[in-house]
C-alpha cells in the first residue's frame, strides 16, 4: 500500500503540472455533441447538508487511445498527460479531485479517448449496386423464359437453350452477390454495434427503431445511424470502485460518462475542452438517455491555472457547490 500511495502522489504531481501547462480552447461554427452517462452497482453521489455534492477523490489510470483508421495530427499528437490535465479541470468543477493518497481514493478513474472507425461507404455502396444489378438481371432472364424453368428449356440432346443458360448464369451471380452483400451487411452491423456501444447510442437507437420511423416519425433514427457510421471524436470516463480494484484486482464500475462530436469539420485538440464541458454536467450521474445537442457555435477557453503542488484538503478552499437539480 505504501508503494501504491507513493505512486499516486507522484501521479498527482505529474497531473497538476499538466494542468498548469494545458490551456485549450474550442471554437467551431457547427458542432454536434452527444453525451450519455449512467451509474452502476447502486452508486449515488453523496450530498452535503446544503444539498451540494460532497467532494470525492479518485486515482487516475490511462485507459487507451483508439486512433481510428486515418492519420489525424489533431489527436495523434495529444498525449495522456494533456488529456488527464484537461479532464481533471472539469472533474474539479463537479467536486471530484485527484486523491492525495491511496486511502482517500474512492474511484479508479479510467480515461479512454480516440476516434471511431467509420463505415467504408464506398465498398458498401459498390456491394449494394452489384447486388441490385444481379437482381435485375435475374428478373430479366426469368421474364425472357415466360415462366419456364431451366430444365424445361433442354432440347432433345439434353442441352439447355441459350436463354436457359443465361438464367442459370443470372441465378449463380445473384446467389454470389447475395452472399457478398450479406457479408458486408454483417460487417456493417458489427461496426455499428461497436460504435454505438462506445458512444452510448445503443438505447436511443433501439428506442427510435420502431414503426414510427416509417410513418412520418422524423429522421431521428437515420441521424443516429449517420452519427455512428461516420468518424467521431470521443471520451469515455469510467469510474471504478478503487478499494475493490486494489483488494481483488477486479473492476467494479460505478459510473461512466461518454461524450462525442463529429470529426468532420472539427479538430480534436480544439474540441476536447468543449466536449468535456458538455459531459461534466453528468459526471457521476445518469443523463436519462442520450443527450444529442446541436450548437451553432461553441467556445470554451481554459485560463491558465496557477498550481504549485499538492496540499492537504484542510489548506485548500472548496470549489463552488454544484447547482441543485
Is residue 222 situated within a structural domain?
Answer: no
CA–CA distance, 115 with 97 (Å, rounded to integer): 27
Q: Are residues 23 and 64 in the same domain?
A: yes
Cβ atoms of 61 and 102 within 8 Å: the answer is no
Is residue 109 situated within a structural domain?
Answer: yes
Round the CA-based radius of gyration of the chain to a whole number and report it: 27
Query: DSSP string of 178-206?
Result: HHHHHHHHHHHHHHHHHHHHHHT-HHHHH
CATH number at residue 18: 3.30.160
Q: Are residues 309 and 284 in the same domain?
A: yes
CA–CA distance, 261 with 231 (Å, rounded to integer): 9
Is residue 225 situated within a structural domain?
Answer: no
Residue with cell string 421474364:
143
Q: Are residues 136 and 62 in the same domain?
A: no
Question: Residue 200: what pLDDT?
Answer: 96
Cβ atoms of 65 and 293 within 8 Å: the answer is no
Q: Are residues 137 and 160 in the same domain?
A: yes
* Residues in the chain with pLDDT values less than 50: 1-29, 298-325
Question: Residue 290: what pLDDT?
Answer: 96
Q: Are residues 102 and 171 in the same domain?
A: no
Helix locations, the chain, DSSP H: 2-21, 73-76, 80-93, 121-144, 162-199, 202-208, 220-228, 242-248, 268-280
Residue with cell string 460504435:
195
Q: Are residues 21 and 110 in the same domain?
A: yes
Is residue 297 situated within a structural domain?
Answer: yes
Count of domains for the chain: 2
What is the CB-side half-sphere exposure of residue 17 using CA atoms within 13 A?
Answer: 8
Q: Are residues 266 and 304 in the same domain?
A: yes
Question: Residue 214: what pLDDT?
Answer: 66
Cβ atoms of 164 and 214 within 8 Å: the answer is no
Q: Are residues 129 and 108 in the same domain?
A: no
Question: Residue 32: what pLDDT?
Answer: 81
Q: Are residues 271 and 235 in the same domain?
A: yes
The three three-digit cell numbers of residue 203, written as one number: 438505447
What is the CB-side half-sphere exposure of residue 134 using CA atoms within 13 A?
Answer: 20
CA–CA distance, 34 with 311 (Å, rounded to integer): 36
Domain extent at residue 140? 121-197
Q: Are residues 126 and 88 in the same domain?
A: no
Is residue 207 situated within a structural domain?
Answer: no
Question: Residue 310: what pLDDT?
Answer: 36
Amino acid at each position: 500500500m505504501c508503494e501504491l500511495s507513493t505512486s499516486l502522489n507522484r501521479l498527482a504531481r505529474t497531473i497538476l503540472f499538466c494542468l498548469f501547462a494545458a490551456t485549450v480552447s474550442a471554437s467551431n461554427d457547427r458542432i454536434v455533441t452527444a453525451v450519455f452517462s449512467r451509474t452502476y452497482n447502486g452508486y449515488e453521489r453523496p450530498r452535503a447538508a446544503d444539498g451540494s455534492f460532497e467532494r470525492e477523490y479518485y486515482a487516475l489510470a490511462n485507459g487507451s487511445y483508439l486512433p481510428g483508421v486515418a492519420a489525424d495530427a489533431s489527436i495523434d499528437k495529444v498525449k495522456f498527460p494533456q488529456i488527464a490535465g484537461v479532464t481533471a479541470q472539469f472533474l474539479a468543477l463537479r467536486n471530484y479531485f485527484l486523491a492525495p493518497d491511496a486511502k482517500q481514493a474512492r474511484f479508479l478513474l479510467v480515461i479512454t479517448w480516440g476516434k471511431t472507425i467509420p463505415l467504408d461507404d464506398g465498398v458498401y455502396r459498390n456491394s449494394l449496386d452489384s447486388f441490385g444489378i444481379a437482381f435485375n438481371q435475374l428478373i430479366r432472364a426469368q421474364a425472357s423464359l415466360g415462366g419456364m424453368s431451366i430444365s424445361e428449356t433442354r432440347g432433345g440432346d439434353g442441352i439447355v437453350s441459350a436463354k436457359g443458360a443465361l438464367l442459370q448464369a443470372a441465378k449463380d451471380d445473384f446467389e454470389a452477390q447475395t452472399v457478398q452483400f450479406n457479408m458486408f451487411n454483417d460487417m456493417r452491423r458489427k461496426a455499428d454495434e461497436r460504435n454505438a456501444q462506445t458512444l452510448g447510442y445503443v438505447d436511443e437507437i433501439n428506442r427510435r427503431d420502431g414503426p414510427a420511423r416509417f410513418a412520418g416519425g422524423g429522421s431521428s433514427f437515420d441521424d443516429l445511424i449517420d452519427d455512428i457510421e461516420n468518424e467521431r471524436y470521443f471520451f469515455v470516463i469510467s469510474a471504478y470502485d478503487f478499494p475493490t480494484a486494489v483488494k481483488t484486482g477486479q473492476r467494479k464500475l460505478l459510473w461512466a460518462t461518454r461524450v462525442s462530436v463529429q470529426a468532420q469539420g472539427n479538430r480534436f485538440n480544439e474540441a476536447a475542452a468543449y466536449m468535456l464541458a458538455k459531459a461534466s454536467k453528468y459526471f457521476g450521474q445518469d443523463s436519462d438517455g442520450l443527450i444529442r445537442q446541436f450548437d451553432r457555435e461553441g467556445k470554451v477557453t481554459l485560463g491558465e491555472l496557477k498550481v504549485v503542488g499538492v496540499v492537504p484538503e484542510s489548506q485548500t478552499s472548496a470549489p463552488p457547490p454544484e447547482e441543485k437539480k
